[in-house]
Amino acid sequence: MAYQRISVPVEGEKITVQNNTLVVPDTPIIPFIEGDGTGPDIWRASQYVFDQAVARAYHGRRKIVWMEVYAGEKANQLYGTYLPDETVEAIQEYYVAIKGPLTTPVGEGFKSLNVTLRQVLDLYACIRPVKYYQGTPCPVKNPEKVDMIIFRENTEDVYSGLEWAMDTAEARDIIAYIESRTGKKIRPDSGIGIKPMSRFGSERIMRKALEYAIANHRKSITIVHKGNIMKYTEGAFKNWCYELARREFGDKIILESELTGPTDRIVIKDRIADNMFQQALLRPDEYDILVTMNLNGDYLSDAVAAQVGGLGMAPGGNIGDFYAVFEATHGTAPKYAGLDKVNPGSVILSGKMMLEYLGWIEAAQLIEQGLQKTIASGVVTYDLARQMPGSREVKTSEFTKAIVENMEG
């Protein structure tokens, strides 16, 4: 496909789908978005780590061919829009992409670019592994007990974009309709949002989590919901997840209520959302994979990440049936832009997830190994150094050079 602004590399090959399977060549072309604010700083550093890990793992037999695509402020300068059509088309053509943080205005302005990408590409699973790396400063006593993966439904719930401002014709019409049909009163000076949750959306996020649990030998899945209050959305989500598990994975799972002793099956349980926040703090080692609706998952993934050092060390991937966009989970931190100062850990670990998705496990393991050794040695960026007495604060670029030096292979 010809693009207006995107330069397609002369080398490299496309990732394809054949027989319902992702086929990854030895030189895949991977689109990347630098991101806004500190995005260029952390992208340059992270790309260096990715390239070195692949080179060390495969000794020239494999190589990522990077292709820049545009979203956010850089896209607006080039195209006059924050998310050009050809960026979405490029990700659709090449299947797998990675991105830095993008600007999202609060309370006004354009819609979240992250949410738009997830909806347009139907990236229905936001997958957030949360794991402790030794030496990372943490607010809890035993962060090493945290090893959870959050599967957050990514396209429905209150993030579906169905909302209208106070005193718009749409808001007035919906208020009037609800009052006429149900007799329930809504204050006329209200903004209105709609919270859809479908059986289809609930079942496919649960299926994705179960497939992952089986492939990666995880022990349990906890369905997180507020079904005691929102019975026909969050309560239905819980019920549909259970039904899917029993119907499609009956020989691989056991319900928590049926447990009588140790089992080699995946234990399926559920927790009310507010209780799950408490459980994540008090008994984190009892929880493995969490399956959540969109809003609960957003809150919970950040809260659990705080237990192991914060969003600077939290990776994320937005994955559909084949399309996947891996991303930094933190904001743009514009006051640090261009200072070579911020922690690139979120993008680096998101790249590790991307390599695992490609099936390049050896390179992913080198990244994790290098990052762990570097932090444990006390060589860290500003955000970690100020909480680690005796550490050595280094620049973003110096931190990633240390990561590469600590890789073996």
Q: Which of 159, 242, 287, 357 is catalytic?
A: 159
Q: Do the annotations mark residue 381 as ligand-binding?
A: no
Q: Do the annotations mark residue 132 as ligand-binding?
A: no
**Cβ atoms of residues 346 and 314 within 8 Å:** yes
Q: Are strands 65-68 and 125-131 parallel, antiparallel or unpaired?
A: unpaired
Q: Do the annotations mark residue 314 as ligand-binding?
A: no
**Cβ atoms of residues 17 and 34 within 8 Å:** no
Q: Do the annotations mark residue 212 as ligand-binding?
A: no
Active site (annotated) includes residue 321: no
**Cβ atoms of residues 240 and 199 within 8 Å:** yes
Q: Do the annotations mark residue 124 as ligand-binding?
A: no
CA 161 to chain centre: 19
384: number of CA atoms within 13 Å, CB side?
31
Q: Are strands 125-131 and 147-153 parallel, antiparallel or unpaired?
A: antiparallel
Q: Which of 74, 99, 208, 226 is catalytic?
A: 226
Q: Do the annotations mark residue 333 as ligand-binding?
A: yes
CA 94 to chain centre: 19
Q: Which of 41, 270, 298, 383 is catalytic?
A: 298
Active site (annotated) includes residue 288: no
Residue 308 is classified by DSSP as T
Q: Do the annotations mark residue 9 as ligand-binding?
A: no
Q: Do the annotations mark residue 152 as ligand-binding?
A: yes
C-alpha span between 186 and 88 (Å, rounded): 39
Q: Which of 167, 173, 274, 285 is catalytic?
A: 274
C-alpha span between 101 and 121 (Å, rounded): 18
Q: Do the annotations mark residue 350 as ligand-binding?
A: no
Q: Do the annotations mark residue 167 as ligand-binding?
A: no
Q: Do the annotations mark residue 296 as ligand-binding?
A: no
Dihedral sign from CA coordinates of 334, 339, 341, 346: positive
Q: Do the annotations mark residue 112 as ligand-binding?
A: yes
Binding residues for Mg(2+): 298
Residue numbering of the annotated binding site: 103, 112, 114, 118, 128, 152, 298, 330-336, 343, 382, 386
- Binding-site members for NADP(+) are 103, 330-336, 343, 382, 386
Active site residues: 159, 226, 274, 298
- Binding-site members for D-threo-isocitrate are 112, 114, 118, 128, 152
